[in-house]
């Protein structure tokens, strides 16, 4: 997953009141962030599995698995990517997320 914007790869201390401003409620902000981080994580997992599928060999057993250099590089690339929650927070802070409340019946 290519991240064109600069997202920190480590945790940053944030003031909770600024995270609560867009929704007016910190709990609603946390739900928005959770749902977006989950979307990002699922997309990254799907993308990684698709790339690693090429290396799958039906005959390999746990003892016979050999290390493929290209497979290792792909895995390392994804390990270096910012965590999904950090990407979600960055998008939220930069007004790049669309979210809405469910309407009451």
Express each pLDDT in 62-89 by its tens digit: 544 556 778 888 888 888 889 999 999 9
Mean residue pLDDT across the chain: 82
List the alpha helices (DSSP H) in the chain.
16-20, 26-53, 69-80, 84-93
| All structural domains of the chain with their residue ranges | 16-55+64-93
Which band of pLDDT confidence, cut at 50, 70 and 90, is reported for residue 41? very high
For 69-78, give one letter per residue: b (16+ CB within 10 A) or e.
eeeeebeeee
Q: Cβ(87)–Cβ(40) under 8 Å?
A: yes
Which band of pLDDT confidence, cut at 50, 70 and 90, is reported for residue 51? confident
Number of other CB atoms surrounding residue 26 within 10 Å: 13
Give dist(CA 82, CA 96) in Å, integer: 17
């Amino acid at each position: 997953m290519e991240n064109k914007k600069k997202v920190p790869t480590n945790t940053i201390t944030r003031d909770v009141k600024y995270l609560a401003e867009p929704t007016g409620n910190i709990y609603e902000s946390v739900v928005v962030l959770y749902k977006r981080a989950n979307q990002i994580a699922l997309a990254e997992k799907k993308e990684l599995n698709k790339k690693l599928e090429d290396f799958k060999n039906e005959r390999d057993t746990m003892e016979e698995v050999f290390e493929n250099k290209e497979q290792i590089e792909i895995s390392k690339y994804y390990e270096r990517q910012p965590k999904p929650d950090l990407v979600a927070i960055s998008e939220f802070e930069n007004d790049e997320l669309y979210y809405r409340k469910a309407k009451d019946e």
